[in-house]
Structure 1
Amino acid sequence: MGKFFDNESTIVHKIDRSYSSIEEALKIDLDLSGRFFRKLIKSKSIIKNGKKASKKSLVKKGDTIVIFMKDEEDNNIPEDINLNIVYEDYDLIILNKEPGIVVHPTKGHNNGTVANGVAQYFKNHNINKKIRFVNRLDMDTSGIVVVAKNPFGHQQMSKQFENNQVKKSYLALVDGIVKGDGVIDEPIGKDPQDSIKNAVKADGKRAITKYEVIDRYNEASLVKLYIETGRTHQIRVHMDYIGHPIIGDTLYNKESNIIKRQALHSYSLEFKVPRNNEKVKVEANLPEDMVEAVEKLRL
């Protein structure tokens, strides 16, 4: 059947020990879920040593397994939008999203989104796959957005996020002088007074935010934040709760004369590369509006 090479649609995996079945091999070596494996077997998309594999195929050291991920249509309209790519491999694209851009189309924003830009990028690079976002950011939050190029990448990264195996950090400018580092372990739920907002509530879901002070200015601080849970508006709610709301956050604070949106940036991400489990850390530089806000605070 010819030679196969790794790309966005193909995984070529060399077996380095014997297994009782191909399912066991792919579960242990590639952390392939049972559901995804069954889907691949049903579509005859797994090849062992040049022949189509069955669920009960035996696997031994030296075997070569090839996984094909079929082409899929994406319904996002391609648009020429600048994408700041900070990391890319066969399975993932990680972007540094600018503030003010929506991640995916909605009724109010049906074009000009990150998804439209990624659709153009896929088209330019002959990546015939659906766009799968692993995480999302609010329109006015800048920073790291993870896009999977195929179902394998999406499955692997989603697992890491769900199992808290991904270390995420944010940078935020907050009101007031934060005296020291700390941990906020307070449950978050819907605000009974405002359906758009969330709030710290006794009957909410557990939420943990760690913060450390990076710099202090005149009546403001730059803090780095790590979230161990992923509640909606978690950082914004927690920082408001301890009396240091994010500057420019019109939902949990007030308008600011130094920045036109909440000064919150998804700064870094540590994760394992889906195909080889290598640990990688990517960082997204602060956008211009936050850099300018810091300069104004230093005056």
Structure 2
Amino acid sequence: MSVITETIKSEEQGLTIRNYLKNNLGLSTRLIRGAAKDGRVKVNGEVVRMNYVVNTNDQVEVQLSKEENQDIQEEPMDLSIVFENEDILVVNKPPYMVCHPTRSHITGTLANGVLYYFKETGQNCIVRLVNRLDMNTSGIVIIAKNQYAHMFLSKAMQNDTFKKRYKALVHGKMKSESGTLDLPIYRPTEDSIKRVVDERGQRSITHYKVIKTSEDISLVELQLETGRTHQIRVHLSHIGHPIIGDTLYGIEGDNLMERQALHAYAVEFPDPKTSEIISLSVDIPEDMKKLLEEL
């Protein structure tokens, strides 16, 4: 059960509970409205109306958990859980798995397995994805267990407190050991899946560092400063080092891997309750290890 508990400070006295929750705790209007309607906002153990005026040392409690349903089929799945607390679940997604159901992938998605896990462990949560990965990209996916955690982490993704790092196997020997790709990414048409580097696009920044290299391939670590669709794949392809196995931005006839050799291996983000930094990492999957050893 996830609960926010706070004690009113002297300088906060005189605020309505609505303004305190919105301006001092940063809760969204939607969350406050829903919590108030369900009687999940209490002061000193008693449910209060939103015009209640707080006093110094009042004990404020907001119950975040609530009855929720989601139109996703629950499906037993062997999840690789990296981290979990009462607000978030972090899993290591394998390649060839879609994050969330679509018309063409109703079952077999990460969300199907996560919802089953929540039910089996007695957690009344729906699947709120904080980040998503392409079907053929493996690695860390963060799921928020409640509306507040999702809102908090979505905001955190817009600033420097949220870091995402990837590892990729790319074609060719990288000339520089490290650098920054500051190249705008543009979607040519509304129905286009593929993106391109174009001055008309949004500013997109990717930092990279070469870990290992040979004449044929390089193992590269990448950190996103912005989060555009296909950003890493577009940037690397544009500079002449496409990701191995990338059928959309890669080299025609590349059959070294059945998928793009891209893995979200590390994240760093603030805990929704304490704001303490959580740092997590996972190893590259076996298919990337095997290719690296072979080449």
User: After TM superposition, is the score higher than 0.5?
Assistant: yes
Separation (CA, whole Å) in 1 of partners of 2:160 and 2:184: 17
User: 1:133 corresponds to which residue?
Assistant: 129
Separation (CA, whole Å) in 2 of partners of 1:207 and 1:248: 23
TM-score, with length taken from structure 2 = 0.91
Instruction: Structure 1: state its 5+ residue gaps.
Output: 1-6
**Structure 1 residue 245 and structure 2 residue 242: aligned?**
yes
- Structure 1 residue 80 and structure 2 residue 72: aligned? no
**How far apart are 1:179 and its partner, in Å?**
2.0
Q: Does 1:47 align with 2:42?
A: yes
- Distance, in Å, in 2 between the alignment partners of 1:163 and 1:23 is 26
Distance (Å, rounded) in 2 between the aligned partners of 1:269 and 1:16? 33
**2:157 partner SS:** helix
How many pairs are equivalent?
288
Cα separation, 2, equivalents of 1:31 and 1:214:
40
CA root-mean-square deviation: 1.9
Aligned to 1:122: 118
Alignment of 1:1-299 (within 5 A): 7=1, 10-15=2-7, 17-18=9-10, 19=12, 20-21=14-15, 22-27=17-22, 30-68=25-63, 69-180=65-176, 181-191=178-188, 195-254=192-251, 255-297=253-295
Cα distance in 1 between the residues matched to 2:294 and 2:22: 53
SS of the residue 1:120 aligns to:
helix
Normalised by the length of structure 1, the TM-score is: 0.90
Distance of 1:174 and 1:98 partners within structure 2: 20
In 2: Cα distance, 1:118 partner to 1:279 partner: 24
Contact kept, 8 Å, 2:168 with 2:219, in 1: the verdict is yes
Letter in structure 2 aligned against 1:276 = T
User: Could you tell me which amino acid in structure 1 is paired with residue 279 of structure 2?
Assistant: K
1:130 to partner: Cα distance? 1.9
CA shift, 1:110, in A, is 1.1
Letter in 1 for 2:244: I
Counterpart of 1:88 in structure 2: which amino acid?
Answer: E
Identity, in percent, stands at 44
| Partner Cα separation in structure 2 for residue 231 and residue 58 of structure 1 | 43
Displacement of 1:66 after TM fit? 2.1
Provide the rounded CA distance (Å) in 2 between the counterparts of 1:60 and 1:15.
10
User: Could you list the per-position Cα deviations for residues 46-100 of structure 1 after superposition, in whole angstroms to 9, with x for gaps in the alignment?
Assistant: 0111111222333345432222232101221111111111111111101110000
- Segments ≥4 residues shifted beyond 6 Å: none
Q: Report if aligned partners of 1:12, 1:64 keep a CA contact under 8 Å in 2.
A: no
AA matched with 2:258:
K
Q: Deviations over 1:136-162 (max 9, x none)?
A: 110000011111111111111111113
Assess if the C-alpha contact under 8 Å between 2:97 and 2:135 holds in 1: yes
CA contact (8 A) 1:164 1:229 kept: no
Structure-1 separation of matches of 2:227 and 2:164: 10
What is the Cα deviation at residue 257 of structure 1? 3.8
What is the CA–CA distance in structure 1 between the aligned matches of 2:48 and 2:66, rounded to whole Å? 16
Displacement after TM superposition at 1:29 (Å): 5.8
Question: How far does residue 108 in structure 1 lie from its aligned partner after superposition?
Answer: 1.3
Q: Note closer, same or farther for the CA distance 1:75–1:163 as it changes in structure 2 (3 Å cut).
A: same
Structure 2 residue identity aligned to 1:53:
V
